[in-house]
Amino acid sequence: MKWLAVACALGVALCWGLYGPTLTNARSPNREWGPFKPYVFIGVAYLVLAICGGSIMMKVAFNDNFDYSGKYFPAMKWGFLAGCLGALGALSLTFALTKAGGKPAYVMPIVFGGAVTVNAIAAYFTLHEGEKTNPLMWIGMLLVAVGICLTAGYTPHGHPPVKPSADAAVVADSGGDTHGALDRTE
């Protein structure tokens, strides 16, 4: 079953890795809308997929109930906290890729390399007394930091947007009639 966990993890990496580039497509080309207009529908997608997908998986895969009281309360409490962390992360990422002017080529490696590191540090602080960590974890975190720098520094950043030339603006004003445009400019 470990192959299924790895396949699911790769699916997450694929989806979240495409999140940044997809979000940049939600930008308004002429600042006709703010950067958080798409974020509202990120929330709608989270809501629909989490409630529908979670409910289906609860019933079909685990034949679970929908009770969140008593002994089931931690599922609601910790699930809500995890959802808040996910939504705040998405909000921060949306801001980084829009208003803050970041590009997916360097923001995404920082996000995912940083997430791996935070996860390792959180696991370290949850060790019970007497448990030890392997020193290779710290070396791995150092290598992640190097990997972030290398990936962010050498990922193609794309071409800058093409600005229309003055001749193209004249052609656009003439409705595409270059002959008429030339006549008016002479």
Q: 119-150, pLDDT tens digit by residue? A: 899 989 988 888 999 999 999 999 999 999 99
Q: Are the beta carbons of 35 and 27 closer than 8 angstroms?
A: yes
What does the block give as tokens for 60? 């079909």
* pLDDT band at 185; cut points 50, 70, 90: very low
Q: What is the pTM of this model?
A: 0.67
Of the candidates 107, 83, 86, 84, the residue with the CA atom closest to the CA atom of residue 95: 107
> 28 vs 10, which has greater pLDDT?
10
What mean pLDDT is reported for the chain? 82
Alpha-carbon distances, residue 133 vs 96, 100, 124, 126, 139 (angstroms):
33, 37, 7, 11, 12
Angle at 42 between CA 37 and CA 47, to 5 degrees: 130
* Conformation bin of residue 19: beta by default, left when phi > 0, alpha when psi is -120 to 50: alpha
Of 135-144, 150-159, 167-176, the range with the lowest mean pLDDT is: 167-176
Mean pLDDT within 153-167:
68
